[in-house]
Amino acid sequence: MDMTIRPRRLRTTAKLRKMVRETRMDKSSLVYPIFVREGENIKEEIPTMPGQYRWSLDRLPEILTETADAGVGSVMLFGIPDHKDEVGSQAYACDGIIQKAMAKAKKEVPDLYYIGDVCMCEYTSHGHCGILKGDYVDNDLTLEKLAQIAVSQVQAGADMVAPSDMMDGHIQAIREALDKNGFVTTPIMSYAVKYASAFYGPFRDAAGSAPAFGDRKSYQMDYHNRREGMKEALLDIEEGADLIMVKPAMSYLDMVREIKDATDVPMAAYSVSGEYAMVKAGAKLGYIDEDSIVCEMAACAYRAGVDVYMSYFAKELAHFMDEGRIG
């Protein structure tokens, strides 16, 4: 046939395909989530997330060093307290599990960048992400506590805070509190576009944060909605968010692309526990090639517009980038 334009010309060799690759990735964009709990000498595998663990403070440097050695430069810490109450007081206590973990981590593995998850669900006895008034999460009462959590985490050593609660006005409340306490350069990464998703199931097992009653649909978003996600992102940017996150990642990359096109802040996505668990289960059954799936999921997220990628496969992804499989 007489064809001048043949797109396959650029696919003929591996070197050429990599030369003209449109999506580029770097290890500096990876964030690894880590669960920290009270106790001593604990490395406790999470049943629903094979290969992920709950770490006690004394053993936390092990996983931090392993992460840094893999080339992953950032981690997000999630706390599992021994004591929970109606107001989630251990979330903002100066001797709370995350506050102690931040201080220890910054001292023993200072080269990593530490992000604190600002929420209350792991710390409340009812498992909801704020202060209850009856059976309803009271938005405005919760804002004061979220601001306290953020300030306490930064005082302990957090380099960035990431509110995941989905309360209206939370970014403004946290920004004002950080600035008032002298933390004007501390950035906020907002879980602005966080859907009420079944993909969070294994995380709730890992962190012991399942709600004791009802669900979180009165504050997390309906997954049918697209314009609402844009509204949430723009509101949080107006209130002072420095980065915007979409959560979950895999099934919501349309939101990543749309918000990326409409805004000028860095875009993050969280490849959540359900995504991780499905890959692990499918690979164990021999139904899928784990490494290939992990690479493809990540590349698709970056292709959609992700600048920062949170993943339980972060260490593996760093290795794949070193190998040139992706990136």
For 7-59, how does the pLDDT look when each residue is reduced to its tens digit (9 = 90+)? 999 999 999 998 988 999 999 999 999 999 999 999 999 999 999 999 999 99
Identity (one letter) of the amino acid at 237? Answer: I
- C-alpha distances in Å from residue 243, one per residue of 74, 136, 164, 191, 237: 15, 29, 13, 9, 8
Is the predicted pLDDT of residue 224 greater than 90, yes or no?
yes
pLDDT at 220: 92
Q: What is the pLDDT of residue 1?
A: 79
CA 61 → CA 64, 109, 265, 274, distances in Å? 5, 7, 32, 26
Q: Is the pLDDT of residue 206 over 80?
A: no
The amino acid occupying position 156 is A
CA 144, 128, 251 angle in degrees (round to 5)? 110
Q: How many CA atoms lie within 13 A of 150 on its CB side?
A: 32
pLDDT at residue number 318? 98
- Find the mean pLDDT for residues 216-236: 94
Q: What is the pTM of this model?
A: 0.94
The distance of Cα 300 from the centroid of its chain, to the nearest Å, equals: 17
Give phi and psi for 34, each to the nearest 5: -135, 135
Cis check: omega of the bond before 211, within 30 degrees of 0: no
Q: Which residues are catalytic?
A: 194, 247
| Strand, helix or coil for residue 160 | strand
Give the model confidence (pLDDT) of 275-285 as tens digits.
999 999 999 99
Q: Read off the amino acid at residue 313.
A: F
| Amino acid (1-letter code) at residue 99 | Q
Least confident window among 37-41, 210-214, 220-224, 270-274: 210-214
Which two structure tokens, joined as six digits, stand for 275? 């995504």
Mean pLDDT of 259-263: 97
Q: Give yes or no for a contact between 254 and 267, defined as CB atoms under 8 angstroms apart.
A: no
3-state secondary structure of 68: helix
**Residue 259 binned pLDDT confidence (cut-offs 50, 70, 90):** very high
Structure tokens at 239: 């209130």
Segments of 14-142 assigned E as strands:
30-37, 43-45, 53-56, 74-80, 113-118, 132-133, 136-137
Burial bucket for residue 261 (CB in 10 Å: 0-12, 13-18, 19+):
exposed
Distance between CA atoms of residues 326 and 276, nearest Å: 18
Q: What does the block give as tokens for 43?
A: 């490395």
Tokens of 236: 């949080």
